Every structure is written in structure tokens, then in C-alpha cells.
A and B are shown apart, each in its own frame.
Chain A
């Protein structure tokens, strides 16, 4: 089993739709959680960190479920510009300086 797993998609949604992605992690001692966005042929960029209490940034909401060992990303009112690959990332508590990335979930938002 991979340390961090994501559904590769693609998710094809119309503009204005709400879409959610999950990401599961295997190391229960994981400490830090992130969502990155990666546009085609570009580098990953931080979208948001994921806090234990859940956090929201505009149309984006991230949540952490430690009991079931997954994090989620909810995008409301999807825009064409949200089309990208979304990577989840986990920093294990015992991993020192390393961050483990999922393979990413592709999202296509259609007009």
C-alpha cells in the first residue's frame, strides 16, 4: 500500500459545481498535511495547509479525519480556472524532513 493515496480521476465537472477529493495516508503518526495545486507542465504550488479543526479559504475547504486517516478538499462553485491536478502531501512525524506526496487528482471544469 502506498503511503499517500489519491483517486487519480479525472473528475469532469461543470462550472458552478461542488467537487470533493479525498486522500488517504497510512502513517498514523503523520503530523502535517497539505494540498498543492499543479497546473499542466508547471511546478506544484501550495493551495492550503490542513489543520485538525478544518480550515476554509474562500471556495476551498480542507478537512482532516485522523481516525480514518484521510484528508479532504472541497471546492465550491467551480471555475474554469480550477482545472488542474491537486496533490495531497503528508509530513510523517517520524519522517524528519521528508514530505510524502500523493500522485494527484486531475480536475477538469467545463463551461
Chain B
């Protein structure tokens, strides 16, 4: 049981390049999330997927797209990377899809992205 896995762990891009961050969970969780974490800003939600087949914008969705490929996988795509997207990206999953769920989130190890 690996929990939440993310690839790659590190990435350096040039401005304008595109890439996809991969996330998978093996806990049969319904909900999955993408966050970015910047110094002093905490975790900010980019996109989330309450259940397979649905995705919704979070707090900072501009410049990103997501795909909930199946129940296990949730990818994050940067179509044209910008220096402002330099950050640490965390994927997370949670079991319950209900509103106001008390279930905790489990995080992947993160992807450290630098855009030059």
C-alpha cells in the first residue's frame, strides 16, 4: 500500500514549456486534490475532484488544467509554464466525498518545480 504517489519528484522547465504532473492513490479514495505550497502562503488549492468524472476549480486554477483519469489517478497539466508557477506541488486524496467531510487528507511526497 503505497498511499499517494507523485511523479516526478523534481522538474526544471523553461518559460513556455508544458508538462504534466502525475498523481495516483491506491486507497480507493473518492476525492483527490492538487495544491501548491509557496513560502509564507501555505497550501493553496488549485483544482480538486470530488469523485471520478468530476473536477472543480480551487483557489488558484489559472494556468493549470486537470484530468481525473480514473478513480486512482489525477493529473495536473501546465500548458505554458511561467516563473510564477515555481512552487512545490502536492497531490492529496480523501476517502469521503460528502460535504463537510471529517475524513482526513493524505498527501503525496510532492513535486518541486522550477520554471526559469
Number of interface residues of A (CB under 8 A): 25
Q: Is B25 positioned at the interface, with any CB of A under 8 Å from its CB?
A: no
- Contact with B42, one of A42, A43, A92, A101 (Cβ below 8 angstroms): A101
A31 to B101, CA, bound (A): 8
Inter-subunit contact B100/A92 (CB<8 Å): yes
Contact B102 A31 (CB under 8 A): yes
Q: List chain A residues, Cβ under 8 A from B105.
A: 46, 89, 99
- Taking beta carbons and an 8 Å cutoff, which residues of A are in contact with B? 4, 8, 31-32, 34, 42-46, 49, 87, 89, 91-93, 95-99, 101-104
The chain A residue with its CB closest to the CB of B103 is A32
CB of B61 within 8 A of chain A?
no
Q: A97-B97, A98-B48 are in contact. Are A103 and B41 (CB under 8 A)?
A: yes
Residue in B40, B43, B48, B106 whose Cβ sees the most chain A Cβ within 10 Å: B43
Tell me whether A32 and B101 are in contact (CB under 8 A).
yes
Given contacts A87-B43, A104-B42, 13 further A-B contacts (CB under 8 A): A31-B100, A32-B100, A32-B101, A42-B109, A42-B110, A43-B108, A44-B107, A46-B105, A89-B105, A91-B102, A97-B31, A97-B101, A101-B35
Q: A102–B41 Cα gap in the complex (Å)?
A: 8
Distance, CA A45 to CA B110, complexed state (A):
12
Known: A32-B100, A32-B101. A97 touches B48 (CB 8 A): yes
User: CA of A50 to CA of B18 in the docked complex: distance in angstroms?
Assistant: 40
Compute how far the CA of A89 lies from the CA of B110 in the bound complex, rounded to whole angstroms.
18
**B-chain residues with CB within 8 Å of residue A87 when the two chains form the complex:** 42-43
Closest A residue to B39 using CB positions = A103
